[in-house]
Amino acid sequence: MPGSDPRHPGDRYPKPPYPQQDDDHPGDTARMEPRPDHGEESYRGSGRLTGRRAVVTGGDSGIGRAVALAFAREGADVLVTHLDEEEHEARETVRLVTEAGRRGVAVPCDIRAEEQCQALVDRAVAEFGGVDVLVNNAAYQMAQPESIEGITTEQFDRVVHTNLYGMFWLSKKVLPHMPAGGSIINTTSVQAYHPSPHLLDYAMTKGAIVTFTKGLAQALVERGIRVNAVAPGPVWTPLIPATLPDTESFGEQAPLGRAAQPAEMAPAYVFLASDEASYITAEIVNATGGTPLP
């Protein structure tokens, strides 16, 4: 778990204003200022996921990298997905996993394609023999100041296929290989409850993820598989300078006065994947820096 820090939680990490920075999608961790914290120096495992086999989509950077690192330090083998252009980021995630003494595998996968989702599950089964934890984390967003008029059909399709189709296909295809006691964890967002007009299509999909999580959880109770989600607030990841026009004030709207670091999200995923959450399913863990959600 993260080490003890007696400071006010709002003061643990840098606050806005951040330097204005812009990057091409999907962004690059090395070019970000301040550099995101994935828990490299702070996360300490305690064997909560010993022997588990995990798949984390979008595990090359941001929340996905922090989750992969935490899972590995808790004793899990981890397969992460990445887009072709994110291979260098994924190599760093795998390095962190193997440095923790666990098996790390990086697989290029565009989850917008059903056949690639099937191939991903097949690869995970070939590598690990099965999957105990699936983290549906990969997502796409692009800000549109003009709101709905600025959202092209091409963008809408990419957002929906990445955020919803991929999650649906992977959840469906992993089930034959997930034993009782398994866990599916989806990444939704504060946007599901407080949608920003400039992220209309993205927010719509995050609301759908909440509904999907609650419905699938009920459908899988008899199989002994739990389904939950994490709803982050603003988190400092490469997606931010790559998709939002204003990075200087990012996160200042949160009651804690700053964006979260990826390392602050990972413990929620560890908890939901662990036996400590054995009586928890169909729930959304809100990690919003104090923004109240329903």
What digits encode the pLDDT tens for the residues 100-134?
999 999 999 999 999 999 999 999 999 999 999 99
Q: Is the pLDDT of residue 84 over 80?
A: yes
As a whole number, mean pLDDT of residues 2-8 equals 74
Rounded Cα distance between 42 and 30, Å, is 19
Q: Interior CA angle at 187 toward 186 and 189, to 5°? A: 140
Helix, strand, or coil (residue 54): strand
The token duo for 250 is: 């990012």
0.85 surpassed by pTM: yes
Per-residue pLDDT tens over the stretch 194-219: 999 999 999 999 999 999 999 999 99
Predicted local confidence at residue 284, as pLDDT? 98
Q: What is the pLDDT of residue 1?
A: 47
Please tell me which residue, 1 or 176, carries the higher pLDDT value: 176
Angle at 82 between CA 225 and CA 151, to 5 degrees: 95
pLDDT at 2 > cutoff 70: no
- The residue-averaged pLDDT of 8-17 equals 95
174-200 tens-digit pLDDT: 999 999 999 999 999 999 999 999 999
Fold (CATH) for 50-287: Rossmann fold (3.40.50)
Which residues are 230's β-sheet partners?
187, 285
pLDDT of residue 25: 87
Confidence of residue 138 (pLDDT cuts 50, 70, 90): very high
- Cα 98 from Cα 76, distance rounded (Å): 11
**Which member of 18, 140, 193, 202 is catalytic?**
202
Looking at residue 252, what is its pLDDT? 95
- Is the pLDDT at 294 greater than 90? The verdict is no
Of residues 70 and 244, more confidence is placed in: 70
- Nearest-CA neighbor of 186 among 111, 288, 282? 282
Rounded to whole angstroms, the Cα distance separating 50 from 128 reads: 14
- State yes or no: pLDDT of 3 exceeds 60: no
- pLDDT, residue 94, reads 98
**Percent of the chain surpassing pLDDT 70:** 99
Q: Is 193 a catalytic residue?
A: no
CA distances to 60, 65, 106, 159 from 92, in Å? 8, 9, 10, 26
Q: What is the mean pLDDT of residues 9-16?
A: 95
* CA neighbor of 213 nearest in space, from 292, 135, 120, 122: 135
289 Cβ contact partners less than 8 Å away, ≥ 6 residues apart:
233, 234, 251, 254, 255, 256, 258, 259, 260
The mean pLDDT value of the chain amounts to 96
